[in-house]
């Protein structure tokens, strides 16, 4: 996996969720997000 900033990681995760073909990539990104302690979506 290439090195990404926190913002890039979250945006990539959101895009992967919207795309039907990137489900595997979304899982990889989600694990990295949880390692960093980030929240991919704002709390409403």
1-44 residue pLDDT tens: 678 899 999 999 999 999 888 889 999 999 999 999 988 887 65
Element (H, E) at 18: helix 6-18
Round to whole Å and give the CA distance between 44 and 9.
Answer: 21
Domain ranges of the chain: 6-34
pTM of the full structure: 0.76
């Amino acid at each position: 996996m290439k090195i990404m900033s926190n913002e890039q990681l979250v945006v990539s995760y959101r895009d992967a969720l919207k795309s039907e073909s990137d489900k595997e990539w979304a899982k990889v990104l989600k694990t990295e997000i949880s390692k960093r302690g980030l929240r991919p979506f704002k709390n409403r």
